[in-house]
Structure 1
Amino acid sequence: MTSLTAIDLFCGAGGLSEGFRQAGYHILAGIDLDAPAGRTFLATHPEATFFCRRIQDVGVSDILNATGLKPGELDVLVGGPPCQGYSVYNHQRGTHDPRAGLFKEYLRLVEGLRPRWLVMENVSGLTSIAQGGIIREIEEGMGGLGYEVSWKILKAEEYGVPQERRRIVFVGNRIGATNAFPEPTHGPGLQPLVTIWDAISDLPPLQNGEKTGPDRYAGPPANAFQRELRKGVKRLTNHSAPKLSPVNEARMKHIPSGGSWRDIPFNLLPEGMKRAKRSDHTKRYGRPRKTDLACTILTKCDVHWGAYIHPDQDRALTVREAARLQSFPDSFEFEGSRTEQYVQVGNAVPPLLGRKIAQAIKQADDAIASEQALAAAE
């Protein structure tokens, strides 16, 4: 059987394509303008071609020539174009908005490549823009090219990711298959949710600002999640602690497990937060419990903005810890400055969620192939 193929638009470091690779897809190419993310993508997807360009500057012929494909041969085109600037309902759109037109560029490549399947992901907040108008635009854009499209908001923690994360996922196909989404595997009545401590407890302790942390694990893997992410890895990377200021160090010492900015003495609070209501800023200066899910991993683990203090060490989460909470394998060595590494991790689709999506598509693909084989035999 010919191997299944995928191309990742707006690929970043390659979280979504990593999930598809884990499900058995051959990743042929990725496109992104972020050069450090591209270096990470190339290092972790050595079989793929990487286009470090604006998507507007990548032609269909460029992709076909690099991959050896012909139109209609690609199995899945995946990606997450920013859509907010595209919508006709967004009255602030225009050439000043760098997001404007990116979804149209996505459709341009769909039209030229004619993949059998589409997977597009984005922020769950798309549903509330213009009373759902942008959702209708996406459906109409894909439908106009002959794709039957469905969408669903997926909760990453329901698929074994140790983090509260919501993403809207569009799945489309032009082969008459049912658009399938993965069934939850974790939660009430299912497997237990994977906690923060399940994800990071084997990583060595660090001091605040310790730049060259140990490259060895603190001990053997403690559970199936750690075993899977450590598979084949001998040297730990991207595990160094950002240097927080003395005042932030002083603040953290007052924050217990499960605590937040409310536990910081008034005289140590940032000036802007001294005027805050107790009901405001619920995640700021948060120290999660070991048994918690992580809050959504963003493009920086800034303790001032979220619950990014280590559960039992007075420091911020490292890039490796953030990557674990995103379900990246430890084999991913993130390139660039530490700031750029945090951005790559925070912008990514959790690979484990990507794998579940890919497996659901494979099952739907197999089902339509079986139906076609039976029809041909009759």
Structure 2
Amino acid sequence: MKKLNTIDLFAGAGGLSLGFVRTGCFNIIAAVEYDRYAAQTYAENHEGVDVLREDASKISFKEKIETKYGKVDIVIGGPPCQGFSNANRQKSNLISGNNQLVQHYVRAIEELDPIAFVLENVKTLESKKHFFFVDSSNIDEVNQLGIPTKKEKINLCGENETAAMIAGVFPYMADLDLYRIKKEGYSLLCTLLKFSRTRERAEKYFKDQEKRIDKLFKDWEHLHSAFWNEQWEHFFRDAKEILQRFGFEREEYSIYFDRLKTLVEVEQAIERLSELNENHIDFEIQVSDSRITVIADTFTVKDYLDCKFKALGYDCNKAILNAADFGVPQTRERFIRIGIKKEIANGKEVKLPSPILKENDYNTVRDAIEDLEELDASIDAEAPPIHALLKEGSKLAALLYDEDIICNHVATDTGEVAKKRFEALAQGENFHNLNKALKTTYSLPERTQNTIYLRLQYDEPSGTVMNVRKSMWIHPILNRALSIREAARLQSFPNSFVFHGSKNSQYQQVGNAVPPLLGQAIAECLLEQLEIKSASSLANDLGVATTSTHMEREDDHIA
């Protein structure tokens, strides 16, 4: 049987590709991944696949892929997508470059015209916070496709002093670039504010970053090339002395913080206004009760995808899938959309894969990693492989134990404070269960997420695996951080899949990946609808008897 020529966009380390390859019916001819370490990992684990380490927004898919490899049958991939929130005051950018990558995924579908595609993404992809701005580059398509638009209100500021400062720039909107602060200065001021929420944290940051802050003050007079009025000029120049007074003499913290906060908020507003101008977005400014708001036309990612794929001739279905339903030992919910050409779907409803396991039968952390318990984890990212035989274990462990060589059993090194925290926490507990004496290095411990310093529970699935090094996840019974290999097992990667790059990159690659078992379930479901027999059966692999690999998913269906 001729295999289906497939490309993987935004491929990461290659978890989705691995799931598709396991069916024996897909020939991955090319993968696009810009991150160099992820691209290396993909290439090392997918022999014969051409990995294009290029910016997907700049690729001509027709010329770069179809011309070289021939007709593409299937496109799979998960373009990054970041939602917008007015509440995120540290995020100055209105327009995420990641959000635009969703449009480039759709562009690939348009250029390559595959018979089917799979789009994987965050479970909130279709929420209202995921939207695009209407601008000069897309307004014609928005109108042509009949995509619904909505007026979106974006807060520029909400305090009297800040509002008064920003209002002064409105007569000079055409010259905003002239009044923007230098990028390096703006970045440092934002970071300084982030670390100044408490007096103690601010003092520590000034001490730790003395050289950077000294340079900031030396360059202060040159951070702005022009000011829109004398009021803002005096405010900005006086700010230097106020910041120095606290930084060098530790005096007047509240005055320092208020001045720094206003300074950053004004600069942030200028950055946002500039971004709207640069992207040719029409907007109006609304001033009321000391609050300044920008109003612009937007359209949701959901409406864009629905309208665009329909126009391209695809029947689609979509759902939130939980990886635990498909044998992955973690509760990881992801948005999945499957599209099949109308002439191939032939009037039949496109299906999503049915859960294979019931909740009581979910694979657990123990099923995934217990066999690694007696193996010493290294702290060296270049540690040599470990030879180990699986004496006994779960069906999942046997499935992932496709060779007796263990790579990437590498954990982050930890200091004395971290080790004391490890020792103090029982399974299922996290940072918030520590006593106050072990929280002193955190300036705002009450705002710490529940996933920080989480000791996993052996007999439950884990939560969503992200970068567990940053979260400081703890082994269920050992007083050490979770290793890269253990995190990979929780993502259902087999022993033979080896990660490459720096230690943090390997942790990040694991956290970003689509679990291969979830990918396999999606691939088998797609094949059934294309009337192609899969060489694999995930249900059989998991020891479950089933008669169907798809269902209506009435409960999970996304309207």
Task: State TM-score, norm by structure 1.
Answer: 0.85
Where structure 2 has 5 or more consecutive residues not aligned to the other structure, the ranges are 85-90, 132-299, 534-559
Q: Would the alpha carbon gap of residues 184 and 53 (structure 1) be closer, same or farther in structure 2, given more than 3 Å must change? A: same
Q: Which letter does structure 1 place at the counterpart of 2:358? A: G
Mapped partners of 1:93, 1:213: distance in 2: 43
Please state whether the residue corresponding to 1:53 is helix, strand or coil.
coil
Counterpart of 1:75?
73
Mapped partners of 1:336, 1:243: distance in 2: 17
The answer on 1:336 being equivalent to 2:336 is no
Q: Offset of 1:170 from its aligned partner? A: 0.7
Alignment partner for residue 237 of structure 1, among 391, 400, 407?
Answer: 407
Q: Which letter does structure 2 place at the counterpart of 1:296? A: T
Asked whether the equivalents of residues 202 and 217 of structure 1 are also in contact (C-alpha less than 8 Å), the reply is no
Counterpart of 2:421?
251
The answer on 1:199 being equivalent to 2:368 is yes
Please state whether the residue corresponding to 1:148 is helix, strand or coil.
strand
- Aligned-CA RMSD value: 2.6
Q: Which letter does structure 2 place at the counterpart of 1:194? A: N
1:21-72 deviation digits (Å, cap 9, x = unpaired): 01121111100101111111111111211100001232211102332x13xx
Mapped partners of 2:305, 2:7: distance in 1: 20
Counterpart of 1:180?
351
Counterpart of 1:170?
337
Q: Which letter does structure 1 place at the counterpart of 2:38? A: A
Q: Would the alpha carbon gap of residues 104 and 161 (structure 1) be closer, same or farther in structure 2, given more than 3 Å must change? A: same
The answer on 1:50 being equivalent to 2:51 is yes
Q: Offset of 1:223 from its aligned partner? A: 1.8
Mapped partners of 1:42, 1:326: distance in 2: 19
Greater helix proportion: 2
Q: Which letter does structure 2 place at the counterpart of 1:30? A: A
Q: Offset of 1:84 from its aligned partner? A: 4.0
Q: Would the alpha carbon gap of residues 265 and 347 (structure 1) be closer, same or farther in structure 2, given more than 3 Å must change? A: same
Mapped partners of 1:119, 1:85: distance in 2: 21
Mapped partners of 1:318, 1:356: distance in 2: 26
Mapped partners of 1:356, 1:27: distance in 2: 17
Moved over 6 A (4+): 92-95
Asked whether the equivalents of residues 83 and 129 of structure 2 are also in contact (C-alpha less than 8 Å), the reply is no
Counterpart of 2:16?
16
Counterpart of 1:353?
518
Q: How does 1:301-320 map to 2 (within 5 A)?
A: 301-304=469-472, 308-320=473-485
Q: How many residues in Structure 1 have an aligned counterpart in Structure 2?
A: 351
Q: Would the alpha carbon gap of residues 33 and 196 (structure 1) be closer, same or farther in structure 2, given more than 3 Å must change? A: same
Q: Would the alpha carbon gap of residues 221 and 142 (structure 1) be closer, same or farther in structure 2, given more than 3 Å must change? A: farther
Please state whether the residue corresponding to 1:302 is helix, strand or coil.
helix
Q: Would the alpha carbon gap of residues 93 and 208 (structure 1) be closer, same or farther in structure 2, given more than 3 Å must change? A: same
Counterpart of 2:192?
none
Mapped partners of 1:195, 1:32: distance in 2: 31
Q: Would the alpha carbon gap of residues 81 and 255 (structure 1) be closer, same or farther in structure 2, given more than 3 Å must change? A: same
Q: Would the alpha carbon gap of residues 180 and 367 (structure 1) be closer, same or farther in structure 2, given more than 3 Å must change? A: farther
Asked whether the equivalents of residues 206 and 313 of structure 1 are also in contact (C-alpha less than 8 Å), the reply is no
Provide the identity percentage.
Answer: 32
Mapped partners of 1:315, 1:214: distance in 2: 19
Q: Would the alpha carbon gap of residues 129 and 182 (structure 1) be closer, same or farther in structure 2, given more than 3 Å must change? A: same
Q: Would the alpha carbon gap of residues 338 and 221 (structure 1) be closer, same or farther in structure 2, given more than 3 Å must change? A: farther
Counterpart of 1:375?
none
Please state whether the residue corresponding to 1:6 is helix, strand or coil.
strand
Asked whether the equivalents of residues 266 and 274 of structure 1 are also in contact (C-alpha less than 8 Å), the reply is no
Mapped partners of 1:140, 1:33: distance in 2: 28
Mapped partners of 1:98, 1:274: distance in 2: 30
Q: How does 1:132-281 map to 2 (within 5 A)?
A: 133-174=300-341, 175-177=343-345, 178-188=349-359, 192-205=361-374, 210-211=379-380, 212=383, 215-217=386-388, 219-231=390-402, 233-272=403-442, 276=446, 281=449
The answer on 1:294 being equivalent to 2:296 is no
Q: Offset of 1:150 from its aligned partner? A: 1.4
Q: Would the alpha carbon gap of residues 143 and 94 (structure 1) be closer, same or farther in structure 2, given more than 3 Å must change? A: farther
Mapped partners of 1:148, 1:329: distance in 2: 34
Q: Would the alpha carbon gap of residues 259 and 85 (structure 1) be closer, same or farther in structure 2, given more than 3 Å must change? A: closer
Task: State TM-score, norm by structure 2.
Answer: 0.59
Q: Which letter does structure 2 place at the counterpart of 1:35? A: R
Asked whether the equivalents of residues 10 and 78 of structure 2 are also in contact (C-alpha less than 8 Å), the reply is yes
Please state whether the residue corresponding to 1:283 is helix, strand or coil.
coil
Q: Offset of 1:197 from its aligned partner? A: 0.6
Larger of the two Rg values belongs to structure: 2
Asked whether the equivalents of residues 379 and 413 of structure 2 are also in contact (C-alpha less than 8 Å), the reply is yes
Q: Would the alpha carbon gap of residues 202 and 49 (structure 1) be closer, same or farther in structure 2, given more than 3 Å must change? A: same
Mapped partners of 1:199, 1:6: distance in 2: 30
Asked whether the equivalents of residues 206 and 241 of structure 1 are also in contact (C-alpha less than 8 Å), the reply is no
Asked whether the equivalents of residues 344 and 530 of structure 2 are also in contact (C-alpha less than 8 Å), the reply is no
Deviates more, 1:253-262 or 1:6-15: 253-262
Mapped partners of 2:437, 2:81: distance in 1: 43
Q: Which letter does structure 1 place at the counterpart of 2:355? A: P
Mapped partners of 1:309, 1:84: distance in 2: 28
Mapped partners of 1:214, 1:21: distance in 2: 25
Please state whether the residue corresponding to 2:118 is helix, strand or coil.
strand
Asked whether the equivalents of residues 75 and 116 of structure 1 are also in contact (C-alpha less than 8 Å), the reply is yes
Where structure 1 has 5 or more consecutive residues not aligned to the other structure, the ranges are 87-91, 369-378
Deviates more, 1:48-57 or 1:103-112: 103-112
Asked whether the equivalents of residues 303 and 316 of structure 1 are also in contact (C-alpha less than 8 Å), the reply is no
Q: How does 1:32-43 map to 2 (within 5 A)?
A: 32-43=33-44
Q: Offset of 1:274 from its aligned partner? A: 6.9
Q: Which letter does structure 2 place at the counterpart of 1:182? A: P
Q: Which letter does structure 2 place at the counterpart of 1:291? A: D
Q: How does 1:48-127 map to 2 (within 5 A)?
A: 48-59=49-60, 60-67=62-69, 69-70=70-71, 74-84=72-82, 97-127=96-126
